[in-house]
Structure 1
C-alpha cells in the first residue's frame, strides 16, 4: 500500500519526502537501523556506541532467527524528545 502511494503519478496523490517519512513512521511500529540513521542523523557506528553505553534504544529482533533487527518506534521517540537524558 505504501509503495503505491509513493509511486503514483497523479499530482493530487504525490507525497513530498516529509509526508512519506511521516506516513512510514505512523504506520510502522518498528524503525530499521537505516531509517533511524536518517531520522536521528546518527550513523550506525554512533548508534552502536550509544547503545552499548545505554544512551540509545535497544535493537529488537524482528524475525525468528534474529537476523533482522529494528528499533521500537516508541523507544526512538522517547530518545528524540530528550537524547541527553535518555537511559535504557
Structure 2
C-alpha cells in the first residue's frame, strides 16, 4: 500500500473522517485511515474503496461502512510505503 495524500470519508451525507490514503499498486484498492500506518501500529477509523486507477490527494469516498482497526498485524500480506 502506497501513500497517496489526504482524503475524506462521507457516510450518509456527513463527513466523518479526514484521513490518509494508502492504495495498492496492483489492484487499486485503497483505504482512507485516521492514522498513518507508517508511524503507528494501527489504522484507527478507516474506510475501504476500489478504483480503476490511482487516486490522488483530496479523494472523497462516499460509503455506508466505516471500520476500526487497533492492530495492523491483523492485516497480513500488506506492506505500507510512502
Q: For the superposition of Structure 1 and Structure 2, which TM-score range results when normalised by the shorter chain?
A: under 0.3
Greater gyration radius: 1
Higher relative contact order (CA 8 A, sep 6+): 2
**TM-score w.r.t. length of structure 2:** 0.27
Q: What TM-score results when the alignment is normalised by the length of structure 1?
A: 0.26
Give the structure with the larger strand fraction: 2
Higher helix share: 1
